[in-house]
Amino acid sequence: MDDNGTLIKKGSIAVDGENIIAVGEKGEIESRYISREIINAEGFMVMPGLINCHTHAPMTYFRGLADDLELTDWLNNYIFPDEARFVNGEFSYLWSLLACAEMIKSGTTTFCDMYIFEDDVAMAVKSAGMRCLLGEALFDFPSPNFKNPEEGLKYTEFLIQKWASDPLVNILVEPHALYTCSFNLLQESKKLADKYGVPLGTHYLETKSEKEKLAGKYGKSPTSFLKDIGYLSEQFIAFHCVYMEEEDIRMFADHGCKMVHNPESNMKLASGVASVPEMMRAGVTVGLGTDGCASNNNLDMFQEMDTAAKLHKVVKLDPTVMDARTVVRMATCQGAKALGMENIVGSLKAGMKADIIVIDLNKPHLTPLYNEYSHIVYAVNGADVDTVLINGKVVMKNRKLLTIAEDELMAMVEETAIRIKKQFGMN
């Protein structure tokens, strides 16, 4: 996944500690290096770990609980009330660990998260050995983790300071959305991000009604408002962006803003279809994300790639739109760029962190192989991932998780789910 789109038919990768130190033809690499451990991937496909650019990890607990609802109804009548009822630090840790297990087993090695009690999320991620960029969701109203916006900002600053030197956990500032944050909270969030030089992310223009209400509130387009308050920059990551017009896209491109496409969530909530091909043509960096399990309902980035490619073809009535290679780049090197991590992950080359996945091709649905990109997008699924390395450490081998006690975790989750079912009156 380098800029040249290099494919090596019979290759080897040398890893020393956290880093890739050489990638090339098998004979050449093996003549130069000797290793204590060799992973034999003969007949397998080896590629960079996938990057899920937007999700809500603890929301695995909501998988299937509030489906087939419109976004505003879903948020205000189900998600926010039930978060207030159930969510605490222990809860966020447990269900984030479940999300990490699901993501590792489907080839994701890095993800960007927004939720509450994110320090507990970070500890779960650290325990699982995953890489993340995460931030506390900031609101103008109380959350289960803070009483007011000031406490939320202080908690975010605590996260930035605590995890500043960690090799896997990275922090960003995340005001939830323009419709849940006051002008003052948006300003203070920007100041905090600038103070520490970290990214700034928010949900943006996910629905048509959101865009109309914000335009009425500000007396101008929401993107013009963001420009006026200094949000538009290379540090800004906008999630969803379903209702971006040509002028919005131009402003994003001019300022180097990043966008994250969440096709399955936007389809499930009937929010609409983001103008991703137009954004890419304008030069906007676009990553790919699953969103949370409450609105997807899984974290499988292979499925998300398949959906992203097909959705835009049918919308545009053009089979050449969003070709397979473009979509794979969204889930790897372009996703890394969207998160500001392009210098460490997203491609397999010397000097990058060893975040690597190995895909088992010896299966009927993956036979024969004519085009690797086509296979990744249209045929491979998460269950085909055999082995995963993150930061040079093997975290899954032969489909067995090595950093998470999977059976024990599943039992704990099932026990917690019983309490949730009782609250919802479910047998």
Residue segments in the chain with a per-residue pLDDT below the cut of 70: 424, 427
Q: For residues 294 and 117, give the distance between their C-alpha atoms in angstroms, rounded to a whole number.
A: 18
Going by C-alpha positions, the residue among 391, 284, 411 that lies closest to residue 345 is: 391
pLDDT of residue 427: 65
Q: For residues 162 and 174, give the distance between their C-alpha atoms in angstroms, rounded to a whole number.
A: 17
The structure tokens listed for 89 are 């630090």
In this structure, the number of other CB atoms found within 10 A of the CB of residue 85 comes to: 10
pLDDT of residue 85: 80
Q: Distance between alpha carbon 129 and the CA centroid of its chain, in Å?
A: 16
Domain ranges of the chain: 11-48+346-395, 50-338
Amino acid at position 360, single letter = D
Count of H helices and E strands in the chain? 17, 16
Q: For residues 326 and 283, give the distance between their C-alpha atoms in angstroms, rounded to a whole number.
A: 13
Q: For residues 252 and 248, give the distance between their C-alpha atoms in angstroms, rounded to a whole number.
A: 6
Peptide bond into 19 cis (omega under 30): no
Going by C-alpha positions, the residue among 97, 190, 187 that lies closest to residue 403 is: 97
**Residue 357 half-sphere exposure, CB side, CA atoms within 13 Å?**
34
Q: For residues 289 and 308, give the distance between their C-alpha atoms in angstroms, rounded to a whole number.
A: 10
pLDDT of residue 301: 98
Q: Which helix (H) or strand (E) holds 65?
A: none
Global confidence as pTM: 0.96
CATH says 50-338 is which class? alpha beta
CATH says 11-48+346-395 is which class? mainly beta
